[in-house]
Structure 1
């Protein structure tokens, strides 16, 4: 019998909270099926190793590795060492586009690349543990400091060797992110985050961002590689995925609650990202083997 623990999302899990910044320091569970979420994921391997199946490539992170990847691409943690402990966070795009990263990195990540750096040091596991504690402290200033310090740590990648996997992927936007564009993308992401379950379009988004609709579409696609509609649908699908994994609601109720105007639109969008229908996805998730013992899903572990 398979005695491994399998991932089960919490009611406020990363899929169901696509606008939230969540931080973790934990021993994760492997995933029965791929999942996705509308944040950039940051992983630091404190101990052991983790193997991911990304969209188009596999990657193994080992102790001391620091990694970033776009969670909007379906990915699956499919194997881990018995002693794995990893730390990190899920960065909504409003934070991701505050980052000053090397030229081309942001666009590569949004296209599905994985950034991996082994240039870490003894301060990293200590810092990640503190950031988790600050983020969960209930103190707004501590939470803000945790976010700012994490972003600064990511920006230090400017000064360290790193790899972008797969190495053969094309790089666009070689000039890096225009500092005048970044605040616009942040405003767009803020508005979509607050309204993605409602009926919104490019005009609503442009008015909220204070720009022309055509410019809003151009800027957003340049920075993310996605159209505005693609991103809105991703937010909705992330939320719907969590409902399918956890709740007993009908597929129709999930479609409506997630912001899709019809069941047919929901099925079409879901099949495009998951490669299966919402009903098949729910069945596959629920077919995971039972386990005799349940470990704490997310706990602070001293390095």
Structure 2
């Protein structure tokens, strides 16, 4: 298994491609992923589970969740994909609520949304609209893509929220898992504040050992690393898309000092915040 470092030039990215029959090596990356199969059948392995999807099915993947996929029939398959970081919803009122389904129900619901559901059909329509807007790049195309992005998240939230409230999940959600998820909610909603990993544990009411074990099952990370990466992703967005100073970005992203900001940013991305900003500016100039 290998770690795939995906650099997004903006908080979210729509793309489409054709995959072949060959098995992709098991890998992980640090983005949330929504995929729509557009042609043929695809076999997914997500963690320890395998799923088979057909055209129109939608798959949800959490950050740092080991996965691979390949065509079941030995033919090329069509795929549309939306990748994004949690920071993409920072400007949306209560935006952190929209990514709750990726964590809160991921262990009780299938990651596949069947093609015949209204949610899958809405997601497919939004994917197509976003990809068309991106290919034409006419006036307002960024806004059109953003509207599609938010509508996709709302559709997923409504679907999984309905399952959850109706108690129709595949398995009953254990009380301890619900408690551990309170920590995820604390980090997603309050990462800009001077909170520490222990604040999430305190909100859960669990012992440190139980909290860390369950949190890792939910996210694949320790609480400290999860909080750090949310902050780094927020900083990436601000570095690429704002004129804020380094100190302002440091504070806006929840880091308590520039030294901590620089260290954690470089540990994750392999470059300093200033170098990342220069790369983003240069890339933007090349595409103008």
Residue pairs, 1:1-303, within 5 angstroms: 8-9=9-10, 13-14=11-12, 28=15, 36-37=30-31, 40-46=32-38, 66-71=58-63, 94-99=100-105, 101=107, 126-129=121-124, 146-149=156-159, 179-288=174-283, 289-291=285-287
Q: Which secondary structure does the structure 1 equivalent of 2:186 belong to?
A: helix
How far 1:231 sits from its partner (Å)? 1.0
Note if contact 1:255-1:266 (Cα within 8 Å) is conserved in structure 2: yes
Cα 1:230–1:236 shift into 2, 3 Å: same
- In the comparison of the two structures, how many residue pairs are matched? 210
What is the rounded CA distance, in whole Å, between the counterparts of 1:43 and 1:152 in structure 2? 21
Note if contact 1:220-1:226 (Cα within 8 Å) is conserved in structure 2: yes
Q: Deviations over 1:65-107 (max 9, x none)?
A: 744433469xxxxxxxxx986569879663223335589x9xx
Cα 1:281–1:44 shift into 2, 3 Å: same
What is the rounded CA distance, in whole Å, between the counterparts of 1:259 and 1:274 in structure 2? 18
Higher relative contact order (CA 8 A, sep 6+): 1
Q: Which secondary structure does the structure 2 equivalent of 1:44 belong to?
A: strand
Cα 1:202–1:282 shift into 2, 3 Å: closer
What is the rounded CA distance, in whole Å, between the counterparts of 1:136 and 1:249 in structure 2? 25
Q: Match of 1:170?
A: none
Q: TM-score, normalised by structure 2?
A: 0.54
How far 1:270 sits from its partner (Å)? 1.0
Q: Which secondary structure does the structure 2 equivalent of 1:290 belong to?
A: helix
Note if contact 1:239-1:258 (Cα within 8 Å) is conserved in structure 2: yes
What is the rounded CA distance, in whole Å, between the counterparts of 2:225 and 2:287 in structure 1? 37
Note if contact 1:36-1:238 (Cα within 8 Å) is conserved in structure 2: no
Q: Deviations over 1:245-265 (max 9, x none)?
A: 111222232122211111121
Structure having the larger proportion of residues in helix? 2
Note if contact 2:58-2:115 (Cα within 8 Å) is conserved in structure 1: yes
Deviates more, 1:189-198 or 1:227-236: 189-198
Note if contact 1:45-1:87 (Cα within 8 Å) is conserved in structure 2: no
**Structure 1: which 5+ residue stretches go unaligned?**
1-5, 15-25, 48-61, 74-82, 106-114, 159-175, 293-303
Note if contact 2:14-2:81 (Cα within 8 Å) is conserved in structure 1: yes
Note if contact 2:62-2:219 (Cα within 8 Å) is conserved in structure 1: no
How far 1:125 sits from its partner (Å)? 5.9
Q: TM-score, normalised by structure 1?
A: 0.51
Cα 1:192–1:291 shift into 2, 3 Å: closer
How far 1:192 sits from its partner (Å)? 1.5
